[in-house]
Structure 1
Amino acid sequence: MGGKADQQRFEALWREHRGIVFKVAGVYARGAEERLDLAQEIGAQLWRSFAAFDERRAKFSTWLYRIALNVAISHLRRAGGEAVRFEPLDDAHLETIAGEPAVEPDERLDALYAFIGELDALNRALILLYLEDRSYAEIAEVLGISATNVATKINRIKTRLRGRMTAAATTGA
Structure 2
Amino acid sequence: MSDAGLPSGWEVRHSNSKNLPYFFNASSKESRWEPPEGTDVDKLKAYMAQNTRKPEGKIHAAHLLIKHRDSRRPGSWKEPTITRTKEEAIEILKGHERRIKSGEISLGGLAQTESDCSSARKNGDLGIFGKGEMQKEFEEVAFALEPGQVSGVVDTASGVHLIQRLE
TM over 0.5: no
TM-score, L = length of structure 2: 0.26
In proportion to residue count, which structure has more helix? 1
TM-score, L = length of structure 1: 0.25
